[in-house]
Structure formats: structure tokens, C-alpha cells
Amino acid sequence: MKQLKQVIEALHSSHYLSASIDANGSLNTCKLLENGIKYSEQLLVHWRRTHSLNKEVNNNFTNVIEDNGSVDTDNRFNFIFSKQLHDGIRYLCSKSTNQQYPAIWKTVQNVHANNLNKGSFDVSTTKNRTYLITDYLTHPAKGVTDFFKAQRECKIWWMRFSTDPSKYYLDPYKFSDISESMLPPGTQSITIRSKLPYVTLDVESITLVPLLKSQLKEKPNAILSNNTGGLDIAPAVIRSVIDLQAATSAVLFDSVDNEYENTLLLNRKLAPYQCVVACYHQGNKLNDLKDLCLHINNVLSGSGLRLKQENMIFTECYHKLDDELYKCDSLGIPYAVIINESSLQNGLLKLRSRDTTLEETIHISDLPTYLLQIFSN
């Protein structure tokens, strides 16, 4: 088990995250650095493509809201009165007079948070946050069933990023500061958390609120066109909220917590750099090797893989090559393509895995397809 100070130093030296430890030995504040910001961008892209409460729902869209106001991140109930929610419902109604349920829409909201969760680690020195919000409308009779399904699917979504999926767990949320008379019957919420040896971090909240007719600006029967018998029934809404900066920090801390001394086990689909090109040579045919490395770099970049292009690795010493590859491990780069002088004659390369440090031989013509297959699984 690594000490908290070691974890912070590893993330800082690899330009993912800076953090401090308070007098009690606990995490105080942290800030995403250059590579951490790149990782958060990939997490956002992945959320847009794959994160939903029901993969078969066709009625969805994504808004980007620049909000100079504020949001209370402790309050999981007031969103049912928000303009954002009702604008989403209105948009769904405008798309079709025969709108079918369930329906989903996603919102990327940039806000200034004025009330951060006091019970959890404040992951940023700035209060400017990006929230990834998914709203799911369903029939109230299916609300609880869909809510538990959402918990399971969203937890699995986070577990796929982890070096140890058992770190993620569900924690029931108590509406202790809200009178029960204010909550619609059946309202409930949970938090998905990552439990590390030195801190527990929140990654997502999921809340179920059965709406009341009085809370809707649209007539319920105009929303739920597939109600049984055409009854005037208000839907239930399930809302998922991810604080992008906080969730990115949690996943980064998780990736350092592994058995290797100097390796960042980032998910290969989300790693800012997925591959690096390295060359081990003995000073012969150096220009030809540089041309080959540049060609491979361009082919892999053109195939859609993210490469660390600013410095391909060239070394005349095998031990120095090892040192450079370990530096790549500390950046979380999943694969390294290793070229030597014999590659010019037979076209064979070495593909080194960060996770195992093992190398396999592959022909240059098979490289892009092989790598793309690895990253798509």
C-alpha cells in the first residue's frame, strides 16, 4: 500500500495533479494539471458516448450550458424546479407530438459552486466546476425499478476504470436538511464512491424524484404519450450528476494505488497518451530509423490513436531504453512500439505493455489494426 505523500508526488511529477496534505495528514486541496485536464477531457468524451441510464433509449440530446450563476451541490432535490430540467422536457415535447418514454437528455453545465459538499474531499482550489448531468424520464410505476438499474449500471461504468473494481460502492444519501413534507413520496438518492486506503472520494450521485403535476410547466399527458389509457400521470425523473474535476481526481488517485512502484494504471481508452514510439539502435542507419519512427508515428496518429508525439524515444543503450519506458509507465501510457535496426530489414517491431512490461513481436503492417482492436475492447 502506498503512502498518501507518495501518491501525491507521483501524480505531481507526471503533471496530472497537484495536492497538499493538512496538519492532520489528510488531503486538503488539489488541482488538475496539464495531463489531468487532458484525462478529464477524455472522460467527458467517454461519458457522452457511453454513459446513460438506458443504452436503448433513442430520445436523447446533449446541451452545453454556460452558467455564471451558482449551484448548491449539496441539494439533490431542488433541480426539479430548475429551468434546465423544464427546458429539457419542453424540448422533448417539441421534437414530437407523440413523444415516447423513457427519454434521456444530457447536459454539460459549467457553474460556480457556492456550497461544496462539506463531508467530502474538496478536489479543487477553484470553485469553477463542470457538471455532467443525465436526466432520465420514465413512468412513475417503473421509477424505483429503473433507479436500482441505474445504480448498478453506473457503478459498473466506474468499475471499468479501476485497478480494483471492489473500491467502488453505493452509499445511501439522507435528506436530513429537508422536511419530509417537501419531498415527493418515493424520493431517494445514492452516491457512488471510491474507497481508497487514505481517502474516500465521491464520483457520482443518482437521485430519483417522482414528479407531481403541480411541478410541471407542461401538461403530463403532453409528455407521456405512451401512458396506459392516456392517463394524466406525471413522470418520475432519475438524475445522475458527475462533478468532472472531482471524478477525474478520484480516478487518478485510484490509478496510482497499485502494486507497481512507478506505474500509473490509467484506463487505456481514456489515457491522454495511448502509445509512444521508441527506438533502440547502435548508431547504424540512424536516419532510416528516424524516418521509420516518424512514419509509424504518423500512421498511428492517423488511425485515431493518441500518441506522445513531442519526444519519440531514441537511445543507444538498452538500460537507457528501460529508463525511458518506465517514465512512460509513470505517465500511464499503455503501449510502447519498440523499433530496432532489424526492423528495417524484416518489418518486425516489439509492442510493450505497460501493465505486464512484456513484449510481443508484430509486423509493421498489422500494427494499426491490432492496436485499434486492443483499444476498442
What per-residue confidence (pLDDT) applies to 21? 84
19 pLDDT higher than 70: yes
221 pLDDT higher than 60: no
Quote the cell numbers at residue 348.
Answer: 518486425
Give 178's Cβ-side CA count (13 Å radius): 15
Q: Is 192 helix (H, G, I), strand (E, B) or coil?
A: strand
- pLDDT grade, residue 346 (50/70/90)? very high
Q: Mean pLDDT, to the nearest integer, of 236-258?
A: 91
Q: Where are the alpha helices (DSSP H) in 160-231?
A: 220-223
What per-residue confidence (pLDDT) applies to 13? 93
Q: Which residue has the cell 523499433?
A: 339
Q: Identify whether the C-beta of residue 175 lies closer than 8 Å to the C-beta of residue 183.
A: yes
Quote the cell numbers at residue 370.
Answer: 491490432
pLDDT tens digits, one per residue of 145-202 = 999 999 999 999 999 988 889 999 999 998 776 655 677 788 899 999 999 888 888 9
pLDDT, greater one: 229 or 177: 177
| CB atoms near residue 291 (< 10 Å) | 12
Q: Which domains does the chain have, with CATH numbers?
A: 4-256 (3.30.930.10), 275-376 (3.40.50.800)
Q: Identify whether the C-beta of residue 340 lies closer than 8 Å to the C-beta of residue 352.
A: no
61 pLDDT higher than 80: no
Which residues on neighbouring strands pair with residue 349, listed in sequence order?
A: 362
Arithmetic mean of pLDDT over the chain: 82
What per-residue confidence (pLDDT) applies to 62? 64
| CB atoms near residue 128 (< 10 Å) | 10
Please report the DSSP string for 248-277 in residue order.
Answer: HHHHHHHHH-SSSSS-----TTT-S--EEE
pLDDT tens digits, one per residue of 309-343 = 666 788 887 788 999 999 999 999 999 999 989 99
What per-residue confidence (pLDDT) applies to 99? 58
Quote the cell numbers at residue 83.
Answer: 429551468
32 pLDDT higher than 50: yes
- pLDDT grade, residue 96 (50/70/90)? low
What per-residue confidence (pLDDT) applies to 328? 93
Residue type at 263 in one-letter notation: T
In whole angstroms, give the CA distance from residue 347 to residue 328.
24
Looking at the chain, the number of H-run helices and the number of E-run strands are 10, 14
Beta strands 62-72 and 103-115, pairing class: parallel
Tell me which range, 100-109, 159-168, 303-312, is most confidently predicted by mean pLDDT.
Answer: 159-168
Q: The pTM is what?
A: 0.87
What per-residue confidence (pLDDT) applies to 121? 45
Q: Mean pLDDT, to the nearest integer, of 213-222?
A: 58
Determine the Cα angle at 188 with ends 183 and 193, to 5°. Answer: 135
What per-residue confidence (pLDDT) applies to 215? 61
In whole angstroms, give the CA distance from residue 21 to residue 4.
9
Whats the size of the chain, residue-wise? 377
Determine the Cα angle at 245 with ends 244 and 250, to 5°. Answer: 95
Residue type at 24 in one-letter notation: N
What per-residue confidence (pLDDT) applies to 120? 43
- pLDDT grade, residue 371 (50/70/90)? very high
In whole angstroms, give the CA distance from residue 68 to residue 290.
50
What per-residue confidence (pLDDT) applies to 146? 92
What per-residue confidence (pLDDT) applies to 69? 52
Beta strands 359-363 and 348-353, pairing class: antiparallel
118 pLDDT higher than 50: no
- pLDDT grade, residue 70 (50/70/90)? low
73 pLDDT higher than 60: no
